[in-house]
Chain A
């Protein structure tokens, strides 16, 4: 249970505070409601590049990292398709430095031509490191563009290609900042040994005078229902074949999300999961298997995948995974198996409650998707799922017309 208090500033900035007396370290998290999905389809990679530029100084802070390190702090950030999230930890005595640094770069980041050029290079190297220079690096890119034809989830946060990153100019960066980096588009969460009252005072002091945005929120295209099976086969310079099966599911706030997440656990979490036990251990078709839900805010995916043992045809792998899905559609699972995946969820939620940083990140995230109270309701939402729910959801989701298949084969 993460107890917290919430306060909304006049400019719309939401602030959540959780007091944790057990640690001398405080965590400060600021989430901006902007991600790759808000980008111009012809200039993707912008949100993530902008995240890099946020570390390049602001009007009163010449070097962001140096100031933070000087306060004993450490920080990082990530950009997803939905959000951009910045976080730092520092000794609680120096917590005001977090407010000072984050407010200054929200208020007035220094965006120079020279820094833009360097960070474009850094991001291009990141593109190469993560997507081009490693085996299977482009799988998720392929899967996105196969599954989403209309919704902007069709491209990855790094950008569709290197050319998109290259053509971003200073004016685009400024426009992007003006549109999204505003207090009413952000959520702060602080966890540490500091009272909520003090957190709110500091928030008023440092963020209170920043003006809210004037732009209306953009409305995103809705992905239409898929009507027929899609299949993509690619050949790459990799040693072993892989197969991916992806199905469209629901948005994060839909109550069915919990059942679908449990289905992915039944299939792929732990050495007693069905993919692992039946296809890797018993039938010896795969050297590794996995199942996951994409967990994004807008309607997401459930993905089942395996890397085949050398010599096993990729079609066989596909067929066997489909058979496991058929079993889920036709046979109600027993209570013990369902209880197992619920117990796993309980442990992972307990694990997330251990340190200040994960509590601050989670508070901001759940407030973003709807309400921070959801963080404390996760266990009960999962516990409420019944074997009948799993059966019904499997029947709804695991259909040919809702399926995209990727055969990623060795040349």
Chain B
């Protein structure tokens, strides 16, 4: 008979994984990184351009450019393009973020040649037809109007503005008239400037590099799409002073709550420690915020905190949707948990659970070749190498309660937090 009170031994000593990517340069200098995993037929190929919203001078330019690439080229209509991608069963992703705009395909190796040939065409020779731009914007504005009906979306959009300020590229918020102010010219110019072989890196995940490299060279290695890559952007914006904000929404049964502030970025020496302090506060299911506000009080279905690292600025925030009758209490509890993080030393048991959890989570974030490609993209975007991961795991292993309290006190001051409630207070 099994003795149920005798729980299995656990180990938190795992082999640290290196990404083992292989880097080559095509003839025109474009970097390509390969992550090989021989047993998969499916390959992910992703081009990441420095062409996110940070680089646009007019709102919507980055998003519209990325999404219209597939809506027509000098030789093919939108319909022809979608029929080819769909015929080969390709998953495409057009993903303009704040820093990078990533264009990716998941494709079976047997269909690689026709798919890459089409990808070449849409990246190099999009024609951005007026009629397609019109349809796209019309649908996008409807989507935007619907998303404004969700308190969580409004909170997400407004919060970056409150943190960074409207004049900062990360603080831009869409208003409806922006949709009438974007033209084919804007898109063409943005494409011409930012979508070039010198402003991109490519990650190939899932299959042997020796077969794919020549195909990439053929389609993307030429001198027909060279360009600049050193884009300086003057940011003359002071961050707004922390304050409390309410966006009233009459029919809300839950309010979206955000509390946060600007934080040190990924290159800061305390970065890993701050990340660990954040996990204790709200970064996993067993976090203090989750335990207190969901598991003990039942005010919400979920509450989390996170640190968002961007190339030109980072921030920390707590986020939740909370029943309107609980909002005041919940916000008090959020501040109280932040204050405890700063002033009370965590007990050994909690720290040990967090360390073990983070070691496992670290291992999990490398599970499978597509997960690895996301980690690699992160390194390249921030100009880091594998040592970033080794430093992180060393910090996880060596951090103690004192250090956590020190960084918490230094960076998580509740008086410096911006607070936003969308709904009712």
Assess A94 versus B4: contact at CB under 8 Å? Given A118-B297, A355-B368.
no
Q: Which residues of B contact A89 (CB under 8 A)?
A: 364, 367
CB proximity to A under 8 Å, residues B132-149: 135, 138-139, 142-143, 145-146, 149
B33 close to A (CB within 8 Å): no
CB proximity to A under 8 Å, residues B291-309: 294-301
Neighbour of B367 across the interface among A23, A93, A132, A351, CB < 8 A: A23
Assess A336 versus B87: contact at CB under 8 Å? Given A67-B7, A239-B142, A270-B82.
yes
Chain A, interface size: which category?
A: 35 or more
A375 to B138, CA, bound (A): 41
Taking a contact as CB atoms under 8 Å apart, the answer to whether A239 and B8 are in contact is no
Q: Which residues of B contact A60 (CB under 8 A)?
A: 4-5, 7
Neighbour of B361 across the interface among A72, A97, A107, CB < 8 A: A72
Q: Which residues of A contact B11 (CB under 8 A)?
A: 91, 93-94
Taking a contact as CB atoms under 8 Å apart, the answer to whether A354 and B370 are in contact is yes
Q: Which residues of B contact A104 (CB under 8 A)?
A: 4
- Cβ proximity bits A261-293 to B, threshold 8 Å, 1 near / 0 not: 000000001111100110011001001100000
Q: Which residues of B contact A7 (CB under 8 A)?
A: none
B381 close to A (CB within 8 Å): no
Q: Which residues of B contact A94 (CB under 8 A)?
A: 8, 10-11, 360
Taking a contact as CB atoms under 8 Å apart, the answer to whether A270 and B85 are in contact is yes
Nearest opposing residue in chain A for B206, CB measure: A354
Neighbour of B91 across the interface among A239, A340, A347, CB < 8 A: A347
A96 close to B (CB within 8 Å): yes
Taking a contact as CB atoms under 8 Å apart, the answer to whether A122 and B298 are in contact is yes
Assess A284 versus B352: contact at CB under 8 Å? Given A206-B2, A355-B367.
no
- Cβ proximity bits A67-110 to B, threshold 8 Å, 1 near / 0 not: 10111111000000000000001110110110110011001000
Nearest opposing residue in chain B for A58, CB measure: B4
A194 close to B (CB within 8 Å): no
A346 close to B (CB within 8 Å): yes
Assess A356 versus B367: contact at CB under 8 Å? Given A125-B300, A288-B143.
yes
- Of residues A123, A125, A345, which shows the largest number of chain B Cβ atoms within 10 Å of its Cβ? A125
Taking a contact as CB atoms under 8 Å apart, the answer to whether A100 and B7 are in contact is yes
B380 close to A (CB within 8 Å): no
A326 close to B (CB within 8 Å): no
A307 close to B (CB within 8 Å): yes
Taking a contact as CB atoms under 8 Å apart, the answer to whether B149 and A134 are in contact is yes
Taking a contact as CB atoms under 8 Å apart, the answer to whether A354 and B363 are in contact is no
- Of residues A74, A129, A238, A288, which shows the largest number of chain B Cβ atoms within 10 Å of its Cβ? A129
Chain A residues with CB under 8 Å of chain B are: 22-25, 59-60, 63, 65-67, 69-74, 89-91, 93-94, 96-97, 99-100, 103-104, 107, 117-126, 128-129, 132-136, 205-206, 208-209, 237-240, 269-273, 276-277, 280-281, 284, 287-288, 307, 309-310, 336, 339-340, 343-348, 350-351, 353-356
Besides A125-B300, A205-B2, A307-B146, 12 new A-B residue pairs in contact (Cβ under 8 A), listed by A number: A25-B363, A69-B284, A74-B360, A91-B14, A99-B8, A121-B299, A135-B150, A237-B251, A239-B146, A344-B86, A347-B89, A355-B367
Chain B residues with CB under 8 Å of chain A are: 1-2, 4-5, 7-8, 10-12, 14-15, 17, 37, 39-42, 70, 78-79, 82-83, 85-91, 106-108, 135, 138-139, 142-143, 145-146, 149-151, 251-254, 284-286, 294-301, 321-323, 352-354, 356-357, 359-361, 363-364, 367-371
- Could you list 19 A-B pairs, sorted by A, with CB under 8 Å? A74-B284, A91-B14, A94-B8, A96-B8, A97-B10, A124-B323, A129-B254, A133-B151, A134-B150, A271-B78, A272-B83, A273-B86, A284-B135, A340-B87, A340-B89, A347-B90, A347-B106, A351-B106, A353-B40
